[in-house]
Amino acid sequence: MNLNQLRFANAVAATGSFTAAAAQCCVTQPTLSNGIGQLEDELGQRLFVRTTRKVGLTPFGAHILPYIAAVLSAQATLLLQTQTFLKPHKRLIRIGTSPLINANLLGLMLEPFRQQNPGVDVVLREMNMTDLYRMLDEGLLDFVFGVADVHKGSWISTHLYEEPLLFIPRGAIWPNRPRAQTVQLKDIADETFVMVPDACGLARATRALFRSERRTLHEYSGEAMSYQVLAQWAKLGIGAAILPQSKLPSDGSPAFPVCGKSGQAEMLGFAASWSRTGLQAPHLHDFADHLCKVVPAIVGGLEPGSTQ
């Protein structure tokens, strides 16, 4: 077992495609396939179900994927801390991101700062929110991008963007409703929903959404370990699901914007947070100003709910 094999598996799980994963990892598809095959042989179980149309996680793969991600995260932490110690003069911005963050929008928000500050390295870490906020408290991260929430008084937060929440029906069937039509929360309140662990903010936001309209959220007893699995389970008929627009699968499964009593689309907001006392270096203050002043103009220029 080696880190490349773990990266290959993580990339396939994220993209749902061996071809896309190979491109992401900058290797040929046979190299990636062989690496994953060797990893599966060593682990003793298949990680993926391969068909002519798609690639999905096996139950074993869904169970083991978080541990693969943890190993890769630990390696990234080791490299970052090594670089910080050996090159203390190097200007770094350490950003922790929730898995829910729209990667395309993240690139749009960061690129202008990178172009204007070529001597600053932006280092991204994707982890669950509990670990990210702990690392922010401990000074191991400079900024955290995640679901907007009520944070400690020692943190400063600024709004980044928001996107609509969409309902994926159980078994990918929602009779007599065109794809573009919305659904009201009261119309789906009797459904049983598959959920991800309360680590990224989606589960908490979903529960808060139901509480806000005094509805009971019926949760499936099991938990999906990724958004891909969440959508797959909904399609299999295990339960319905709610996902932000940017995390919808690209397989054409039906999904409907969720509206509240007022008829307005239910939105999931994202914010950047940082310590009131942690930004000692000038380039960190410059980046905080970028988040507060430049990013709103970037996001404001996009269509509402855009997942560009």
**199 touches 128 (CB < 8 A):** yes
- The domains of the chain, with CATH numbers, are 3-64 (1.10.10.10), 71-161+269-300 (3.40.190.10), 163-267 (3.40.190.10)
SS3 14: helix
| pTM assigned to the model | 0.69
Q: What is the pLDDT of residue 52?
A: 65
Q: What's the confidence (pLDDT) of residue 16?
A: 81
- Cα separation, 136 vs 275, in Å, equals 7
Give pLDDT, residue 6.
Answer: 92
Question: Which two three-digit tokens encode residue 285?
Answer: 């203050």
The encoded tokens of residue 266 equal: 């239910």
Q: Give the pLDDT score at 84.
A: 65
**How far is 275 from 278, CA to CA, in rounded Å?**
5
Cα–Cα distance list, 33 to 22, 198, 307 (Å)? 9, 32, 30
Give the pLDDT confidence score for residue 175 in this predicted structure: 58
What's the gap between Cα 156 and its chain centre? 22
Q: Which pLDDT score, from 0 to 100, does residue 242 have?
A: 93
From first to last of the 308 residues of the chain, give the pLDDT tens digit.
Answer: 898 899 899 888 888 888 888 887 878 888 999 999 999 999 999 999 877 667 888 889 888 888 898 888 788 778 767 766 766 556 789 999 988 899 889 999 999 999 999 889 898 988 888 788 888 887 888 999 998 875 556 688 999 999 999 999 988 666 555 554 788 888 899 999 999 887 778 888 899 889 988 889 999 988 887 788 888 888 888 999 999 998 887 777 788 899 887 788 899 999 999 987 767 788 999 999 999 999 998 888 664 555 55
* pLDDT at residue number 89: 59
User: Can you tell me the distance from the alpha carbon of 45 to that of 58, in angstroms, rounded to the nearest whole number?
Assistant: 9
CA 281, distance to chain mean position in Å, is 29
Task: Note the pLDDT of residue 44.
Answer: 93
**HSE (CB half, 13 Å, CA atoms) of 249?**
25
| Per-residue confidence (pLDDT) for residue 43, from 0 to 100 | 93
